[in-house]
Structure 1
Amino acid sequence: MKQQVNDISETLAGLLSELQSLRKTVDSLYTENRSLNCNVDRLLKENRELRKRLEKYEKPPKDSGNSSTPPSKEPIRAEIERRTKSLRAKSDKPVGGQTGHEGTTRKMVDTPDEIKEVSSHYCRQCGRDLSEIEGVLDYVTQEIDLPPVMPIYRERRFYKKICSCGCCNRDYASRRRGGNAITFGKNIRAIATYLSVVQCMPYERLQSLFATMFNVSISQGTLVNIVREMLDKSRPAIELIERLIRESAVVGFDESGCYVNGKLNWSWIAQTVYLTLVFRDSGRGAKVLEDRFGDPLKRMIAVTDRHSAYFAIDFLNNQICLAHLLRNLEYLNDIDKEQTWAKEAQTLLREAIHLRNEKPTDVIPKENWLTRLDDLLKENLDSLRKEFNELKRGIIKCRDYIFNFLDNPAIPSDNNGSERRIRKLKVKQKISGCFRSETGADAFHALHSIADTAWKNGQSPLDAILALV
């Protein structure tokens, strides 16, 4: 009996020793497990960061065909691909001129400035003299050429007349002190302004062109002064354009960055079918338009992109640019070619645009189109990439401004008119880099407004500038 009790004590002691050993093992495993969990968390965090960094390489690049990225910021490869890819659906019509299209060709004038008769002076076979033989007219052609360009020096002599009463009479302005006796005429001033603003030529090239083609020596400083003087003469015309835009019912707006003396400014455009007004401001907010146009904004229907500044203004109504939406949807097609939501949305917008093109003057009810759009917006896109829900939320915000162009034939379905008109400033900036002064920038904006307004009304931009001189 005593032996059995001793065996129990030893057994308990052994079990206690094993339990302590197991506890140490458990503690060791627990510590190791915590260390492993920390490493897993670190690795997961690192994996998420790496995925995020690699995501931009996995996504298709954004360009002017699937986003609002301007062509000037595209790589060369994207530009080449863009030339062979278009958002416009492929037509079943043959390439080239369509049936019924009236072609145009150069026509011969009735009274040419110069006539040159071409005939043979000797026989090509026997060598006999043919100068006395009267030729028979075979055919007639005409050639268009430019005369050799030489400057015209026009001298003006100003005479004063003294009346018997002693009064000195001058029907001309007094000569300015320090002024040069030789000045440049209105044609030179108009051509210099036209080439600088409409053709976006920098002053150095203008100087070279005048010297090479017109044999006129003119400094870059004089060219700058000519353009600045044209700014002062353009103010009445700009005031008229601005007043007419205030009275317009449908106005397209857009804005784009421009650099003036190294500082970022914003070029704004307000345009209609017949008017263009471009101006510069330091801001990009709604206050710019409110300060410029005031209460007439409440009577305007604004055609814009989805920039938030336009929806902070109390317009009569809005129409967002469907071309922008189609590009955004095209990007979703690029990142997920298996989904159908973006393709269905594109089809909806294109059908609406096509219907308006087929019926350019009809008032088309938009309720059915909004119903179809709402059906698309109700779909659950959580299984797709986050970009789908982001665009969906953006469309929901501007849902009431998508199909207004169907109700009113005067409203365009896109804001391409504004973008085309403001593109001239990007061309100028790409060629010259930036504007060196605020006065030079304002001159370009004002004169571009006048030249483009003239072009919209079927007039020559050069003639419009010439009228200012």
Structure 2
Amino acid sequence: MLRKREIRVIYDQGVEAVEATIRQLYEMIEIEDERVHQLVALATAAHLQKIEQFRGRIAKLEEELASKVRHVHQLNLTVKELNKELKEARTHTRLAKEAHLAHLLKNSQNSNKPPSTDPRKGTRSLREKSGRKPGGQVGHPGATKGFVEKPDRLVIHAPEACSFCGSSLGESEVQGSERRQVHDLPPQRVEVTEHQAQTKVCLRCGAKNKAEFPAGVNAPVQYGAGVRSVAAYLMGYQLLPYERCAEAMSDLFNCPLSPGTLATLLKGCAGELVEPMMLITEGLRKSAVIGVDETSLRVAGRQDWVHVSATDQLTLLVHDKRRGAPAISEIDILPQYEGVAVHDGFSSYDQYRQCRHAQCNAHILRELNYVIETSQPQWAVAMKALLLEIKVAVDNARESGRKKLAPCRKAEFLRKYEESIEAATKQYGTLQRKKGRAKQPPAAESVIRAAGRKLACRLEAKRADILRFMHDFAVPFDNNQSERDLRMLKVQQKISGCFRTGVGAEEWCRLRSYVATMKKQGRNVMETIKSVFAGTTIMPTLRC
């Protein structure tokens, strides 16, 4: 840069000196400007190269970041799904544990499970303590065997010689005697009776006349009504299998029978019971109150069913491969029945609307016991106490000769019943089943809570059927009559395992129906079975 003194010297040299100086300065400026441009170009190129490198680096990092973000998002989705599966697994595990616990807590006292499935420990009866001592009560008549006025045999035991001096007592008078009677069975043996039908020639016309054999004597050699009735009694009433029945006949009467012979005579006995079965069916249709039930039966390796319709005087057992409405309609009792049908709440019975229905309260009590033992809700405790209280009140009124409870008493029971239902509603919410399909799937509910809720819904919906025994004394509190008639079927199944054919099951059910009916009507079982084989079948009485 020129100083002021140097500029003045150039100025003093004249215009040409100034012009030369300025031109020199311009040249220097251009050279410097060119150098600056070169430096800027070099710097710009270097910066641009670095910028491109940074952009590539940034793009690569952005791509890696996007990949990481996608991976993280995928991991988040996987974690969410795993959390959902874990939650469902925990819910299923909890429900499975509760279901298993609920299954372990069920027994014949608090559910419909048979007693054979109970664990080996003492079970609690549904009966409450009466406060009385066990055994015969005061005023109960004894059953001691007394003397028979006319014994079949009389054996006199007289002393032959004096025990002191040895003298003979043959001529001595009898001063007294002491009686002792022995009730025993005489030796049993088969008695063979030969029938001979003679042929005679008429002396007048020379015609041959042959006598007729008695009714029932059809074969050259056969078993009589006594042998056949005892065998049928042992199989149909005492539930002996074929081989054990044959063994008993051989041991008791020296009368060996083959299993095939036993099957044939049982088939013949069942074939003669068509008319008694029709009478029993007609009597059940005309009865004011009947109990109906069903139970499973193993037949030819499959599960079939036996349906029972019963009163205190009549019993009808019917074998069928089906359990529901088709089998019930084919039996043809409920479709024509107009009385009160007592049952355990099986839904197939409810479709017969022409008759009234009554629920078996023994089943209700067992289910209440289960709910009380598993969750202990107060409404269930109150409901159980109420049903038992109503039963006692009805029994006392019936024993005193009354035909119904006092209106104020019934009103009190109905109020208590409604209070228990309201308490259940507060615990479970609405007890009415919603129609249609739910928009959202219901939340997972424990098995124990579901059992209580379903029972409360049933108590609410079927209150008229449950309390029918309170309004009509002819209706029993439970359906034990039908269950007792089915019990021997289960005993038969435990002894023999199963029936090999459906025909065999039908024959057994027919014989058992007849025997149980005649037993209820006070008939001797052996006499009734013998009448069937003798061709003079004793018909059941139709008592409604």
Instruction: Quickly name the TM-score band, shorter chain normalised.
Output: 0.7 to 0.9
Q: Does 1:377 align with 2:417?
A: no
Task: Tell me the amino acid that sits aligned with residue 44 of structure 1.
Answer: K
Note the C-alpha offset of 1:158: 1.0
Q: Which residue of 1 aligns with 2:242?
A: 203
Equivalent of residue 85 in structure 2, options 35, 42, 54: 42
Task: Tell me the amino acid that sits aligned with residue 152 of structure 2.
Answer: D
Cα 1:196–1:298 shift into 2, 3 Å: closer
2:295–2:305 Cα contact (<8 Å) kept: yes
Cα 1:323–1:23 shift into 2, 3 Å: same
Question: Secondary structure at the residue paired with 1:319?
Answer: strand
1:290–1:297 Cα contact (<8 Å) kept: no
Q: Which residue of 2 aligns with 1:352?
A: 390
Equivalent of residue 54 in structure 1, options 68, 91, 97: 97
- The ranges of structure 1 where at least 4 consecutive aligned residues each deviate by more than 6 angstroms after the TM superposition are 20-32, 119-124
Q: Residue by residue, what CA displacement relative to the aligned partner does 1:424-465 show, whole Å, maximum 9, x if unpaired? A: 111111111112223322221111111111111111111111
**Number of corresponding residues:** 444
Task: Tell me the amino acid that sits aligned with residue 383 of structure 2.
Answer: A
Task: Tell me the amino acid that sits aligned with residue 132 of structure 1.
Answer: L
TM-score normalised by structure 1 residue count:
0.85
Larger deviation, residues 194-203 vs 89-98: 89-98
1:303–1:415 Cα contact (<8 Å) kept: yes
Q: Which residue of 2 aligns with 1:419?
A: 483
Cα 1:123–1:219 shift into 2, 3 Å: same
Structure 1 runs not aligned, ≥5 long:
1-12
Note the C-alpha offset of 1:22: 11
Question: Secondary structure at the residue paired with 2:509?
Answer: helix
Once residues 89 and 174 of structure 1 are traced to their aligned partners in structure 2, the CA distance between those partners, rounded to angstroms, is 59
Q: Which residue of 1 aligns with 2:133?
A: 94
Task: Tell me the amino acid that sits aligned with residue 63 of structure 1.
Answer: N
Task: Tell me the amino acid that sits aligned with residue 351 of structure 1.
Answer: E
Task: Tell me the amino acid that sits aligned with residue 92 of structure 2.
Answer: E
Cα 1:28–1:136 shift into 2, 3 Å: farther
Q: Does 1:462 align with 2:522?
A: no
1:382–1:389 Cα contact (<8 Å) kept: yes
Q: Residue by residue, what CA displacement relative to the aligned partner does 1:219-268 show, whole Å, maximum 9, x if unpaired? A: 11111111111111111111111122222121111111122222322211
Note the C-alpha offset of 1:279: 1.4
Q: Give the aligned CA root-mean-square deviation in angstroms.
A: 3.2
Note the C-alpha offset of 1:38: 4.2
Task: Tell me the amino acid that sits aligned with residue 455 of structure 1.
Answer: K
Once residues 455 and 512 of structure 2 are traced to their aligned partners in structure 1, the CA distance between those partners, rounded to angstroms, is 35
Task: Tell me the amino acid that sits aligned with residue 356 of structure 1.
Answer: V
Q: Does 1:64 align with 2:108?
A: yes
Task: Tell me the amino acid that sits aligned with residue 55 of structure 1.
Answer: E
Cα 1:239–1:129 shift into 2, 3 Å: same
Once residues 324 and 67 of structure 2 are traced to their aligned partners in structure 1, the CA distance between those partners, rounded to angstroms, is 68
Equivalent of residue 389 in structure 1, options 453, 472, 476: 453
Structure 2 runs not aligned, ≥5 long:
1-53, 430-447, 534-544
Q: Which residue of 2 aligns with 1:339?
A: 377
Q: Residue by residue, what CA displacement relative to the aligned partner does 1:402-423 show, whole Å, maximum 9, x if unpaired? A: 1112222211111100110121
Once residues 308 and 196 of structure 1 are traced to their aligned partners in structure 2, the CA distance between those partners, rounded to angstroms, is 34
Once residues 114 and 318 of structure 1 are traced to their aligned partners in structure 2, the CA distance between those partners, rounded to angstroms, is 58
1:265–1:283 Cα contact (<8 Å) kept: yes
Q: Does 1:172 align with 2:212?
A: yes
Question: Secondary structure at the residue paired with 1:359?
Answer: helix
Q: Which residue of 2 aligns with 1:225?
A: 264
Q: Residue by residue, what CA displacement relative to the aligned partner does 1:126-157 show, whole Å, maximum 9, x if unpaired? A: 7x536527576464322111111121111111
Question: Secondary structure at the residue paired with 2:272?
Answer: helix
Q: Does 1:444 align with 2:485?
A: no
Larger deviation, residues 230-239 vs 285-294: 285-294
TM-score normalised by structure 2 residue count:
0.74
Question: Secondary structure at the residue paired with 1:81?
Answer: coil
Percent sequence identity over matched residues? 30
Which is higher, the Rg of structure 1 or of structure 2?
Answer: 2
Once residues 175 and 140 of structure 1 are traced to their aligned partners in structure 2, the CA distance between those partners, rounded to angstroms, is 46
Larger deviation, residues 275-284 vs 40-49: 40-49
Equivalent of residue 286 in structure 1, options 325, 328, 345: 325
Equivalent of residue 363 in structure 1, options 394, 397, 404: 404
Equivalent of residue 132 in structure 1, options 169, 179, 188: 169
Question: Secondary structure at the residue paired with 1:113?
Answer: coil
2:201–2:209 Cα contact (<8 Å) kept: yes
Cα 1:129–1:381 shift into 2, 3 Å: farther
Once residues 276 and 71 of structure 2 are traced to their aligned partners in structure 1, the CA distance between those partners, rounded to angstroms, is 87
Note the C-alpha offset of 1:350: 0.6
